[in-house]
């Protein structure tokens, strides 16, 4: 075999080896960057209560930064103030994921748990819904809302009961309302804003979900399903809220850690 041919064959073999290794390398990178365990938010960035809101305020942020209340069932809503926070009519809350970023994976990327429940009038089952618009953001200032239907409430949070005895990381089983970033064309987000829109139900006695006692969204939990640990998504904007985080798990320590970096 001539030197040139041998050289050519060696390059070809190396090329094949590299091709063989490619899936292994890609698999490793994939395993490193995704998919982390289901994750919950780390920080309540801000809360604005609407009329009738504020119940459970003394238990936040802890009440909102874990998995949903394990005792919640489809006809036994969570009313424990240590588990849910009432936003009130038109109230709003912004949550931040600090340790992970939520990314667009197949299907639902995060689930919002309220205390919607099923009740019976005559022979008919009805859902007691206190709906909210859900919006997401990468940087904490520009939010993109998920569209919703004001009659069917499809696209809102606060319409599907919670199955607290099921895996909160499995949207098929957990209940709650799931949101898919692909619907907005976004690949990753860090902030979730939940804004009560119960007025569209309460203010219209012919609305399919009308109930005179509706008084605003009650947040139990938010769970990120597709998440990536911090540092693996470099293009997510850092925020400007460090100085003003009012409610977070170990807020002070987190600020010190970040400043030290
Ligand atoms: Ca809770
Ligand atoms: Ca998705």
pLDDT in tens, 41-69: 999 999 999 999 999 999 999 999 999 99
- CA–centroid distance, 67 to ligand 1, in Å, is 6
pLDDT of 156 strictly over 50: yes
- CA–centroid distance, 109 to ligand 2, in Å, is 5
Percent of the chain clearing pLDDT 90 (strictly above): 68
- CA–centroid distance, 249 to ligand 1, in Å, is 14
**What is the average pLDDT value for the chain, to the nearest integer?**
83
User: Cα separation of 80 and 83, whole Å?
Assistant: 5
Ligand with the closest atom to the CA of 187: 2
Ligand with the closest atom to the CA of 189: 2
What pLDDT does residue 218 have?
98
User: Cα separation of 107 and 48, whole Å?
Assistant: 31
pLDDT of 180 strictly over 70: yes
- CA–centroid distance, 158 to ligand 1, in Å, is 14
- CA–centroid distance, 228 to ligand 2, in Å, is 13
- CA–centroid distance, 14 to ligand 1, in Å, is 55
- CA–centroid distance, 135 to ligand 2, in Å, is 15
Percent of the chain clearing pLDDT 70 (strictly above): 74
- What Å distances lie between residue 191 and 81, 97, 107, 249, CA to CA? 24, 6, 19, 16
245 or 136: which carries more pLDDT confidence?
136
- CA–centroid distance, 232 to ligand 2, in Å, is 18
Ligand with the closest atom to the CA of 72: 1
What pLDDT does residue 68 have?
97
Q: Among 17-21, 119-123, 196-200, 202-206, where is mean pLDDT lowest?
A: 17-21
pLDDT of 176 strictly over 80: yes
User: Cα separation of 201 and 216, whole Å?
Assistant: 10
Ligand with the closest atom to the CA of 181: 2
Whether the pTM exceeds 0.85: the reply is no
72 or 240: which carries more pLDDT confidence?
72
Dihedral sign (CA 133, 92, 56, 171): positive
- CA–centroid distance, 88 to ligand 1, in Å, is 16
User: Cα separation of 76 and 74, whole Å?
Assistant: 6
Q: Among 25-34, 37-46, 192-201, where is mean pLDDT lowest?
A: 25-34
User: Cα separation of 92 and 194, whole Å?
Assistant: 6
């Amino acid at each position: 075999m001539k030197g040139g041919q041998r050289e050519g064959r060696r390059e070809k073999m190396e090329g094949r080896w590299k091709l063989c290794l490619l899936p292994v390398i890609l698999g490793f990178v994939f395993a490193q960057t995704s998919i982390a365990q289901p994750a919950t938010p780390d920080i309540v960035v801000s809360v604005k209560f609407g009329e009738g809101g504020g119940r459970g305020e003394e238990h936040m942020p802890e009440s909102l930064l874990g998995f949903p209340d394990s005792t919640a069932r489809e006809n036994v809503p969570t009313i424990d103030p240590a588990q849910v926070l009432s936003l009130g009519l038109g109230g709003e809350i912004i949550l931040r994921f600090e340790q992970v970023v939520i990314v667009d994976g197949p299907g639902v990327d995060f689930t919002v748990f309220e205390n919607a429940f099923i009740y019976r009038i005559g022979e008919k089952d009805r859902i007691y819904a206190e709906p909210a618009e859900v919006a997401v953001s990468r940087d904490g200032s520009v939010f993109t809302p998920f569209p919703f239907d004001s009659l069917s409430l499809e696209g809102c949070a606060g319409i599907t009961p919670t199955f607290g005895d099921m895996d909160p990381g499995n949207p098929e089983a957990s209940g709650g309302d799931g949101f898919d970033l692909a619907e907005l064309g976004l690949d990753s987000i860090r902030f979730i804003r939940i804004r009560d829109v119960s007025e569209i139900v309460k203010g219209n006695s012919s609305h399919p979900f009308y109930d005179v006692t509706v008084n605003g969204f009650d947040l139990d939990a938010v769970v990120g399903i597709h998440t990536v640990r911090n540092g693996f998504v470099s293009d997510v904007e850092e925020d400007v809220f460090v100085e003003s985080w009012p409610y977070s798990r170990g807020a002070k320590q987190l600020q010190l850690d970040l400043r030290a970096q």
